[in-house]
Copies of this chain bind each other. A is one copy, B any other.
């Protein structure tokens, strides 16, 4: 999940994701949208996205076609949903903290 978050933080990678969200595109096609950087740079971004599971690749001859994997975005969405609401982690941490405090006299609490 961390890989997904790191992947989508880079603005260029978010742009790439948008590009192939609804249709496959070749590496060169994608690179053509970003004249401000070189092709290898795009290639590296594609690798990061693919490693994070956000992109699927299939070869067709000498071309490589990339497309977004909506399931992974759904994963991220679910994770964030849980992040907003989930108190479990918080409560676990609180439990041990409170326990430690209760066993100390008042003047040792901070």
Contact = CB atoms under 8 A, between A and B. Distances in A.
Interface of A: 2, 5-6, 8-9, 11, 14-15, 18-19, 21-22, 26, 28-29, 32-33, 70, 73, 76-77, 80, 83-84, 86-87, 89-90, 93, 97, 110
A32 B15 CA distance: 39
Q: How many monomers of this protein are in the complex?
A: 2
B73 A77 contact: no
A87 B6 CA distance: 23
Q: Chain A's interface: helix, strand, loop or mixed, by majority?
A: helix
Nearest to A14: B83
30 contacts: A2-B11, A5-B8, A5-B9, A6-B9, A9-B9, A14-B83, A15-B89, A18-B83, A18-B86, A18-B90, A19-B90, A19-B93, A21-B87, A21-B90, A22-B87, A22-B90, A26-B110, A28-B110, A29-B97, A29-B110, A32-B97, A32-B110, A33-B93, A33-B97, A70-B84, A73-B84, A76-B80, A77-B80, A77-B84, A80-B80
